[in-house]
Amino acid sequence: MKIGFALPQVGPFAGPNQIATAARRAEELGYSGLWVNDRVLWPTAPRAPYPAAADGALSPEWRTNLDALGTLTFAAAHTSRVTLGTSVLVLPLYDPVLLARRLTTLDILSEGRLVAGFGLGWSPDEYEATGTPWANRAARMEDALDVIEAIWKGGSVAHDSAFVTLPESIFDARPVQQPRPRVLLAAYSPAGMARIAARADGWTPAGIPIDAMGEMYKGIQQMAGANGRAASEIDMVVRANCTILDELPEQDRFPFVGSLDQIAADAHRAHEVGATEVFFDVQFSLGVDDFTTYLEHMETLAKLTL
């Protein structure tokens, strides 16, 4: 199993020195990947609850949130081996032609280390702020994937749909990874899981019980088989949103909540149900209010899992 770590992208210690230090240290420790999230804004009166929080509240750390691809590009300049992943870009919010160029640039500058994770998002406020209609967002996402994949192939590309009009154009800058960088999708609905099975390289779940992850992953693999794909073609990359506390009773404990030993055990359990990679995000945990603590947790989790 591969183990990754989320870069210090949000909150009080999001900055260039911290990102560079964390990226280099993660690579030194043997982590396989560095990961970022994607938030456009922190609405003061959100119109929809944050689904990953029991109370629906968006973490105040997100008031400071650096751009996902800018952060990864900066980290790429300070590393040479680790993969660089988004978990996840809210794809319908982006112009797919411009996004394809940015992703291609990142893959070229990192010499083939991009992992492109996409999702639909959950915030109507972010859609409104970016001028993106909330309606038909799944269809918009499918169309954006078509555009990006066509541009990644290079050569002559044209596209005309309800969402994107691209006159025939030549794209000679191609990702290092061919036929394309790995594409992961975040989804929990039957339609979203079917999309993964049909066209993605993996699923990136978060915030659900580990046994449920395993069962849903089996379902995605079975659907992939129905599409003529091998189950081994579909990865499962688990985002471990960590809440670090004293050791908790195992009964009714939510995954990745508890002591570092318990969180590490959860990572191993995720591997048992099929995870090909687990990456830890400690930025939102209680008590992680300085960069020294962030690095200490990175080092401890490396010892427990790598």
| pLDDT digits 0-9 by tens, 85-99 | 999 999 999 999 999
Residue percentage of the chain with pLDDT more than 90: 94
Name which of 86, 112, 70, 69 is nearest 34 in CA terms. 86
pLDDT at 286 over 90: no
CATH at 99: 3.20.20.30
Query: pLDDT tens digits, residue range 42-87?
Result: 999 999 998 877 788 899 999 999 999 999 999 999 999 999 999 9
Per-residue pLDDT of 26-39, as tens digits, reads 999 999 999 999 99
Predicted local confidence at residue 118, as pLDDT:
98
pLDDT band at 252 (very low <50, low <70, confident <90, very high): confident
* 75-79, long-range: CB < 8 A, 24+ apart: 75/7, 75/19, 75/20, 75/23, 75/34, 76/106, 76/109, 76/110, 76/113, 77/109, 78/19, 78/20, 78/23, 78/24, 79/23, 79/24, 79/26, 79/27, 79/34
pLDDT at 256 over 80: yes
Query: How many Å apart are CA 240 and CA 135, to the nearest integer?
Result: 30
CA dihedral 112, 114, 116, 117 (to 10 degrees): 140
Of the candidates 5, 9, 123, which has an alpha carbon nearest to the alpha carbon of residue 61?
9
Say how many C-beta atoms besides its own lie within 10 A of residue 299's C-beta. 14
- Supply the mean pLDDT for the chain: 96
Residue 305 has pLDDT above 90, yes or no: yes
Q: Residue range 112-128: average pLDDT?
A: 97
SS3 239: strand
The mean per-residue pLDDT over the stretch 166-183 comes to 97
Global pTM reads: 0.97
Print the domain residue range for 18: 2-305
pLDDT recorded at residue 178 = 93
In total, how many domains does the chain have? 1
Residue 260 reports pLDDT greater than 80: yes
